Structure 1
Amino acid sequence: MNENILGIVAGVLTSVSMIPQLVKVIKEKNVEDISLVMLLILISGLSLWVWYGVMKNELPIILSNSFAVLVNLSLLIYYLKFNKKT
């Protein structure tokens, strides 16, 4: 398999992996089972991948991880909005 195709497929899969969770949170307005620490660590790691992609000038890394950052930032916003503890 071509390494570029492999990288693109991997990027797409990891980028969309949290969309079902985001949809569930929006529908149910319930974030009780989501870990804030996990979200913050994930967003930090994805942001570092974006930075790495910029340093290496690798557009697939930049795009897929930027999209994943946006999805997870959206989840974080909904977490803060729907969290009954705050």
Structure 2
Amino acid sequence: MFKFTGFAFGALFLIGLSDSTALAQETVQSMLAAQIRTQGFTCDKALGAKKDAKRSKADREVWVLRCSNATYRVGRAPDMAAKVEVIR
């Protein structure tokens, strides 16, 4: 009985982790899309966001945001407007 309970709990825990990861990713892409819209860029529908580890630094994150109409490179630093570059 205890083995099954442990297995069931472990499975539910892992399912919860994968759901929270998907939710966090969705939050990042929607947040980035909202931010670039406030700066005058068009993002009809946010399709995905991926952190650019090569360009990111400790005090400045860089993301590639894919929208249905364009792809943007978005650099974010605390308390500053995002630096947005149209990739395509």
TM-score, normalization by structure 1: 0.35
TM-score (norm 2): 0.35
Q: Which has the higher contact order (CA 8 A, sep 6+)?
A: 1
Per residue, is there more strand in 1 or in 2? 2
